[in-house]
Amino acid sequence: MVSPDVLKEVLKPGNSVLVVWDVHRALFNGIFNRDEFQRALDTAINAARRVNVQ
Please state the domain extents for the chain. Answer: 4-50
Residue 25 pLDDT: 67
Of 25, 28, 26, 46, the closest CA to residue 36 belongs to 28
Where b means 16+ CB within 10 Å and e means fewer, 11-39 reads: eeeeeeeeeeeeeeeeeeeeeeeeeeeee
pTM of model > 0.75: no
Q: What is the dihedral of CA 14, 40, 5, 53, to 10 degrees?
A: 10
What does the pLDDT look like over 6-54, one tens digit per residue?
Answer: 877 777 787 788 888 776 666 777 788 888 988 998 999 999 899 888 7
